[in-house]
Amino acid sequence: MKKEASFKQGLNSQATGLSPLLLMMVLSVLYPSRISFVFTLVICTGCLVLFRYLSGKNVFLFMLLPVAITLILYSVFFYSALEPVLYMYTPLITEWLLVMVLSLLSTFRRSILRRIRPSGHPVKKQAQFRTALTEYFHVAQTVQNLYTLHFFALLFYIIFFEFNRIAGIDRFLYHQAPLLIGLMIISYEQVRLYMVKKRLEQEKWLPVLNSEGRVIGRIAYSVSLGSNAKHCHPVVRVAVVWRGMIYLTRRAADSPVSPGALDYPFRNYILFRRTPEQTIKELVERIMPWNQLNLHFLIRYPFQGGKVCSMVSLYAATMKSEDEFVKYIGKMNGKLWTRKQIEENLGKGVFSAYFEQEYPYLQNTVLLAEEYTGRQSVGAQYPHGILKQGSFGGELRHTGKAPNASETGKSLPIS
């Protein structure tokens, strides 16, 4: 499966944009203030030009903008009364100016993010741009908070140790602390982004469907779990039929739909850019060889209940021989249910909500074919192929009309 590339590409380390300021803090100790400032300004300008070029390749470093503004404001001090002592307070002054600039820019956060969607850029570029911008505001808040905390620590030291200054502490608070805080932020962000990207590589992505079953987007599986049926996802389900009976197993106790109820053994979400057949193959091959199963597509229908909204692709499967059934399916801690047993327990909470909706269709197709033919293979005995199968990363196309009551019996209720 293709990874969520557009989101990952937007995850650039915005904290590295602090590098020019940290460089000036170091140079201010070694060289005169004007020399360190000019050198830093040249480096910052070069970085701005470079990342302006890289923005065409969806690489953004927004932190360079407040850093550049900070350097421009710092240049004003060369024409003030503080110019003779700039070499002593350069780290502190740049830190204070940066906090002031970041605080000002953060007040426009909502209006900036609101302008992205109607910008006219392609959706993929908008997603990457928004991801990078959101990451910038996160880092900016971290920088602002830590440097503000440093100011309070310095103020506390000045007030309570006014007559007992220690040279080593003075040097640390005025010169070394701003640099160490900046380096700590860069290191922390690198580690955090590495962990985020590793988690994204392991994340499962679900297609988001509209009411017609067309794919209109995608969402992380972990995010969708807590959305309470906000998004509709494709689900594949396979009814295992044997001699007119249906094999059922118990659903997990933490299932969002009918926990602990009886249902088919093979069922799962269809991941983004996967087909129903690919999903079924992965499910089946955990238990048995793929070629041991006779698989037939039945119908696709919408389902909504509890915390989920699904577009269900229903299949029927039969085994080639009794030995194979006992060898593979019989080990799944389930049970074969006859039509009579099922009908006696419908509506009593024994079966899942999915199964309750699907049974009328199964009753008038698969089970009816089994009853009249006495054969295990039912592929030619009931309507199938209602929809052409396709990947759930593109569009699903109708190839025929949906079955009517005369063809299938009672239609499925749509909730």
Q: How far apart are CA 119 and CA 264, in angstroms?
A: 48
Name the percent of the chain lying above pLDDT 90: 33
Least confident of 155-159, 197-201, 320-324: 320-324
Please give the residue that has the higher pLDDT: either 133 or 99.
99
Length of the chain, in residues: 415
Average pLDDT over residues 375-399: 41
Tokens of 90: 């350069």
For 44, how many CA atoms within 13 A lie in the half-sphere containing its CB? Answer: 25
Query: pLDDT at residue 389 above 80?
Result: no
Least confident of 29-38, 119-128, 249-258, 298-307: 119-128
Q: Please report the pLDDT score of residue 69 as a whole number.
A: 94
* DSSP codes of every residue in 236-267: EEEEEEETTEEEEEEPPTT-SSSTT-EE-SEE
Q: Please report the pLDDT score of residue 392 as a whole number.
A: 59
**pLDDT (tens digit per residue) in 257-288:** 889 999 999 999 999 888 998 999 998 888 88
301's CB contacts (< 8 A; 6+ apart) are 311, 312, 314, 357, 412, 414
Please give the residue that has the higher pLDDT: either 238 or 415.
238
**pLDDT (tens digit per residue) in 55-67:** 777 778 889 999 9
**pLDDT (tens digit per residue) in 41-89:** 999 999 999 888 887 777 788 899 999 999 999 988 888 777 777 777 8
Torsion angle (degrees, nearest 10) of CA 290, 296, 302, 303: -60
Query: pLDDT at residue 383 above 50?
Result: no
Query: pLDDT at residue 406 above 70?
Result: no
Q: How far apart are CA 304 and CA 324, in angstroms?
A: 35
Give the CA angle between residues 125, 48, 10 to the nearest 5°: 30
Question: Can you say whether residue 314 is alpha, beta or left, with left for phi > 0 and alpha for psi between -120 and 50 degrees?
Answer: beta
Give the CA angle between residues 254, 260, 262 to the nearest 5°: 135
Q: Is the pTM of this model over 0.85?
A: no
Average pLDDT over residues 210-230: 79
382: DSSP letter: S
Name the percent of the chain lying above pLDDT 70: 83
- Contact, 168 vs 161, CB < 8 A? no
The residue with tokens 């006779």 is 294
Confidence of residue 130 (pLDDT cuts 50, 70, 90): confident
- Contact, 116 vs 133, CB < 8 A? yes
Least confident of 234-238, 364-368, 391-395: 391-395
Q: How far apart are CA 119 and CA 358, in angstroms?
A: 46
Q: Please report the pLDDT score of residue 116 as a whole number.
A: 63
Q: Please report the pLDDT score of residue 124 as a whole number.
A: 63
Tokens of 42: 């040249």
**pLDDT (tens digit per residue) in 105-125:** 888 888 877 776 555 566 666
Average pLDDT over residues 90-105: 91
Q: Please report the pLDDT score of residue 57 as a whole number.
A: 75
Q: Please report the pLDDT score of residue 84 as a whole number.
A: 73
Query: pLDDT at residue 341 above 90?
Result: yes
Least confident of 74-88, 175-189, 207-221, 255-269: 74-88
Please give the residue that has the higher pLDDT: either 405 or 165.
165
Least confident of 32-46, 167-181, 374-388: 374-388
Confidence of residue 401 (pLDDT cuts 50, 70, 90): very low
Q: How far apart are CA 93 and CA 35, in angstroms?
A: 17
The residue with tokens 């009816």 is 368
- Contact, 270 vs 195, CB < 8 A? no
Mean of all residue pLDDT scores within the chain: 80
Q: How far apart are CA 247 and CA 229, in angstroms?
A: 28
Confidence of residue 374 (pLDDT cuts 50, 70, 90): low
Confidence of residue 103 (pLDDT cuts 50, 70, 90): very high
Kindly state the helix (H) or strand (E) to which residue 209 belongs, with its residue range: strand 205-209
